[in-house]
Structure 1
Amino acid sequence: MENKVKVLKSFKSVKRFYKVSSAAIVHFLLITFFLSFTVNAQDILSNVDLSAEERQWISEHPILTATNNMDLVPLDFVRDNIPKGFAIDYLNLAAKNVGLNIEYKNGLSWDELVKKVQNKEIDITHSLMINEEREEYLNFTKPYLDIPIVNFGRKGSSRINSIADMENKRIGVIQGWAITDYYRENHPEFELIEYSTIKDALNGLSSKEVDVVTGSLFTLEYFISQNFMNDLEVIGDDYAFNSNNIVEHRIATRKDYPILRDILQKGMDAITFEEYKLLAERWGTKTEIVQNIDFTKEELQWIKENQTIRITNKTEMAPIDFNQGGGATGLSIDYINLIAEKIGIKTEYVNDPNWNRLLELVKNKELDMTHSLVKTDEREEYLNFTKPYLHVPWVYFGRKGDPKINSIMDLEGKKIGVIEGSLPWNIYNRDYDHLNIKGYQSADIALNDLSSGVIDIYINLVATTNYKIKRNLITNIEVNGKDFYPKSKNQGEFRLAFNKDRGILKSIFEKGMDAVTEGEFSALSTQWYTHINYNININLSAEERAW
């Protein structure tokens, strides 16, 4: 007899938190919403009851291919060219139970991946729901995960309480998602704007290209917290998609492999409650997994002889890297401290409001490392960079109603404010010296000048600038160009960086970075996302807040 554990039925009692803290739902989802699965009452582990035909089929198909989404974090995504996520681990566990080996295919959009399964170029897909169209070319297993579907909008938007509330709105959807097909076929009155990635859709919502983005609460909320999009929030359940506000995720196989579907279902049925719970905890906001870091003898000796390292700390790059009450704080600071704890090194932060002076200290080897930094050819002359750990885009800010910035040509004739020593400062002074650039050491002064008309454009990171706009109660500034020009491959990718003669320290930290789980990093980003939402005007009195 099968036992199906349903924690998701408690979701309705969680809806009240939408208006309190959408970020808090991430924690609840990661720990409890995952606990929805089917297991065999006997908890079969190795003695899966495969027929002789199924065993023969497995022996004739030693390696099978499966889809791997690029950005469906934390379910199905890619990090350092490695497939990761809850769904990946779940499929691998099910496959292991029945002796299957999986090779993942990625680098394509979700729509392109599904088409490859349809064309029988890929054998297995997952993290998708069943519908009539897909049943024509896929065989589906039973569901293994339920996810709520909601509507996101900009803060202050009217709430979505019915299908009628969706009309006359521009709705952002993801190409290839079942909800996109459903809307197109069943609601021709909807104005749909399709995006190839989740991030593009949310950026479109933030920049007012669309009014609503419909999708998985779990995944969209994760992206919002990771990218500090504190101007977005849940504005209602989805009333148009006929699924009772819930999407059931399943594994599916190509249509001509019905036996593969049956084999995988047996592998799924053999997954125990304890195994499933471990996966949920691994990809949740908490983890009890202990990872031993494989340091070399030289690295261990270096750590023993160098117990404290000195690191840069900016004054006003909140919420990523700033100083509060005389102490270094921010997402990057917490991330470095977590790594330092794992590798057994103490940190000492050196604060300076001038970013150029901090870089000079690193360049002159007075400091060991820096962070929250984009890799450039110039910086690589004196720094060794790690892989990226955070993506924060550079954007253009202008006064509300000003023309949009859609190319480098749109900057001609405008007074442009840039923080001295930043990536835009270096690029524009080196390659576009004909532009009217005004340098600033303080973002607060730059924003005041933009608000009052002293400058026309201000270029900075979207997360840090939105934070300051809200904290300083500036109401006439908005993003008026979501892409930074000229575009570069490393644009917005934050990395750790070390002096050239600290190669061994870079190696040690990279191993520490690898030991940080996705759940641990998610907890940090969620913490700072919540900080933005609830502490941004902390110095206002109750009377001032009410006003």
Structure 2
Amino acid sequence: MRFVVFILLVLNTLWADQSILTKKEQDWIKNNTLKVGITDLYPLSYLTKDYQRAGFANDILALIIKKFQIKNRTIDIDQGNIEFAFENGEIDLIPLVNNSKVENDIGVYSSEILEIKRVLFVKKEQNNINSIDDLKHKKVAIINHAGNISHISTKYPNIKLIETKSMEESVSLLLEGNVEALISSPIIVQKYLEDNLLIGLKAMPLIIFEPTNLYYLTKKSETELQSIIEKGLNQITIKERKELFDKWFLKDLADLPLIFSREEKNYLENKNAINMCVDPDWMPYEKIENHKHVGIVADYMKGFQEKIGVPLKLVETKNWSQSLEYVKNRKCDILALVMDTPKRREYMNFTKPYITTPLVLVTKRTVAFISDLKTLKNKKIGIQKDFAYNDIIRENYPNIQVIDQKHLRDGLKKVERGELFGQVTTHLNVAYAFQEEFYGSLQISGKFDDEWKLSVGVRNDDPVLLSIFEKLVSSISDETTQKIMNHWVSIKFEKVFDYQLFWKILVFFVFVLSVILYTYFLQRKYIRKLTRVKDEIQMLNSTLEKKVQSRTSELELSNKKLKDKTHELEDLNNTLDIKIKKEIDNRKKQEQLLIQQSKLAEMGEMISMIAHQWRQPLSALSTIIQNIHLRYSLEKLDQEYLDKQMQLSNALTDKMSKTIDDFRNFFEPNKEKKPFSIKDAIQKTIFLIDDSFKSNSIKIEYQILDDVIMYGFESELSQVLLNILTNSKDAFLEKDIQNPEILIKTKKVQTHIKIMISDNAGGISESIINKVFEPYFTTKESYNGTGLGLYMSKIIIEQNMKGQLSVKNIKNGVEFTIYIPLKIN
């Protein structure tokens, strides 16, 4: 066993990514435990009910801790005690929000983790606040983070700022009318409102305050830790950061900044311009027009320039070959769009590709579609000189005669004149060329298996610049790519006439025409029928008067009979009270019978649970008896050992006795209403079934967000919870669910307590989900269910507790929701 533990420790050490750390930094990790302070900055950083770190900043920190295998523990800190906690060595690091990286004697700020916009929030019915001027002499709540209060109070002295400790306090003050507005980030407010089911606030997006930033504040004396955190932040990929951002925030309410290392920031601050070479004539990708860079790549470069704040200076060249030569001779720092090849790596490094496009073959319109380009034996195919795929196509397709072309347009004109069979290019190039000139005479007749993967090329003696452009390329979103592509090209592929498609379309139109004709004939038939009915109505109207007279006579006779019936009803009414009382007694007896049936069914389940509860202590008692017998046989049974085993036996029998008491209390008839805790009721119910569920590997979790004291019958609520939980258990076993889980959550919603019980047992068929609360309805085998559990649960919640019990399917399972008023008459 020790050997296995040793191997695991060795592997753990090998897996730890500490190669970028210095010896001092590695020693710090080995000899120290990182003490992380946590204040309530929900949802940026906070502690859960189980005192676990959560929030965007803590998820980022968790990636760093995992990457470097840092030992750590959590310290709960009040906002006002941060300085004291650092001075006394209680914490080494804490996530903080501030307006800027203010120098102080406590600690050192990390690089910026997140920029947080701040706007004004008011109550939905508030219509008097529409600008900053409307806030004069009004009370506005704001969370007292470092730098928040002083900065805004200095800039807006006429606003009465009310300091709060948390978002919960700020929102409560606003909803209760104690302040007129609150200042915070939409990503924080929106998350809080969603999690607490609040809908009474609205944002004022035109009233904007200076954004704040999220940092890690590290103890000033811990220089190795500061360096470790910075290296960890630099190692986190944009994809990892974006996934965490999407997890915690709404995408349209905040901006995820591009995070550069200190070295990269210093580089950009000292760089006046970055010299850029391009292909001067390769549309729609790019070209130089009136001394300006235009095209798809130019749009990407404009976005890159905005993100780094350094101009990308265009270096004009005559052709693509000259652009390559300029980069080779260091006249340019980057090539905006280029393919990675071994030859070019002699003087350039490359980012990952940000444009990938297939290679196509353009021919005359008379050429049939070519499915295999290797069949083009001895055909003359044009491709532009100095393009990366020139050599690749020569190698992969040796039977093709490759003819170098100076420009795409030259090759397409030769194809048009018949001098070349086809021209190789990308689908975007040809789409643009077709729009401009060649659409009527040429077509795309084939597609190569190869793709043109294009990157930013960076001179290979500048690794920092390469790192910067790697981050810029990684930050490109799918929405940005789609927007740029839609702006520049629309693509049309040509193929030989598809007769099969033609006949399909023709059959479709014949079918539609047939439907129209059939509908026309039906309408004609319907009109004739209406005309016939109209004639019949007219004939009926002519005899209506006679029928009315006859009916009048019949009514007089009926009135006489009605008087006789009235006398009979009066006699029946005299005995109605007796019959109603008798019927009510019968209904009560039926309900008692249903309750008894339900109890008997539950008792069977309980007996099974008692068996699970007793299995371990019975096994232990058996072991004790065997040990006593063994010692007696060996004549080593002394009084001290016997007393010790007696104490252990008594403890086990006490546990078994307590189990019986717990189950007996569950079935004890309700005598009078008493105050009880919702949390206690849930925990007691789970205790009764815990061993049974654990034996079937069923995991039960509960999150008591709000505990309240109810006044009523605790055993009735326990019975409802037990019915729902055992139904989930049966569903898990019946469907053989892997990793079965049940989650119980409570939340106070105004005047009610809401209890949600959900599982991952696959849900209930939509065809029967509305029947599950009917008596005697069950999906189980006849020997395994009575169909009364959920019916009785419905009666208990809705009749006895004046609440509501409902069910709905959710992803991978089902969720039961119980609403109970806090005050039950």
**TM over 0.5, yes or no?**
no
TM-score norm. by structure 2 comes to 0.31
TM-score norm. by structure 1 comes to 0.45
Query: Greater RCO between the two (CA within 8 Å, min separation 6)?
Result: 1
From the two aligned structures, give the one with the greater helix fraction.
2
